[in-house]
Amino acid sequence: MTITLNNIGRRFNRDWIFRGVDHTFTAGESYAILGPNGSGKSTLLQVLNGSLSPSIGTINYTYQDKPIEVSQVFNYLSLAAPYLEVIEEFTLSEMIDFHFKFKNYKHGLDKKQLIELLNLPKSEHKLIRYFSSGMKQRLKLILAFCSDTPMLMLDEPTSNLDAQGVDWYLSLVERFATGRLTIICSNQEHEYGFCKYRLNISDYKN
């Protein structure tokens, strides 16, 4: 998946969050969108994944040299973000089954292996509402990493994770991010240190 931005801008009311973004996100590469809290990183990510429309400019998606309509981008995307909720009335097992009705597992994986990767063997039938914030974050990440999509987008991926959780996240990056267009929104270097390219949202303020 390749995403091409031409003079993209987004505003709320009369205030521009960012404008004049010309950038190409190339298939198989890793990118970090950087900036302080409240700077517009998450807003740009939502424009990139098609859940927000730009106020100005155009955005084009291609996959294997074929154009993709913005309404279909979600089929090619895995996302983990603080504002993305899991269904708390489900058990862990039910949440995994529900998610993979819409996505395919990466090759060689199944539900049992996902639960092993989560290191939550006794929580398979536990309601998600009783999960800690760190357990919920691990679940969001494992669903994103282990879905067979060409594009992976992560917003503040290690929020609510302890030091051991950060190491676990980096092991997922090493194993499951290779070969995908990977975009990380972050202001913490340990989350995006592996990214080849950096885009600072502050460069697009007016």
Mean pLDDT of 50-57: 95
Show the 3-state SS of the chain: CEEEEEEEEEEECCEEEEEEEEEEECCCCEEEEECCCCCCHHHHHHHHCCCCCCCEEEEEEEECCEEECHHHHHHHEEEECCCCCCCCCCEHHHHHHHHCCCCCECCCCCHHHHHHHHCCHHHCCCEHHHCCHHHHHHHHHHHHHCECCCEEEEECCCCCCCHHHHHHHHHHHHHHCCCCEEEEEECCHHHHCCCCEEEEHHHHCC
What whole-number percentage of the chain has pLDDT above 90? Answer: 93
Judge whether residue 106 has pLDDT over 70: yes
Q: What is the pLDDT of residue 172?
A: 97
Q: What is the pLDDT of residue 205?
A: 83
Query: Mean pLDDT of all residues in the chain?
Result: 95
164-181 pLDDT per residue, tens: 999 999 999 999 999 999
Judge whether residue 6 has pLDDT over 70: yes
107-129 pLDDT per residue, tens: 999 999 999 999 888 899 999 99
Mean pLDDT of 36-55: 94
The pTM (predicted TM-score) of the whole model is 0.94
Mean pLDDT of 120-149: 95
**Any idea where the domains of the chain sit in the sequence?**
2-204
Domain 2-204, CATH: 3.40.50.300
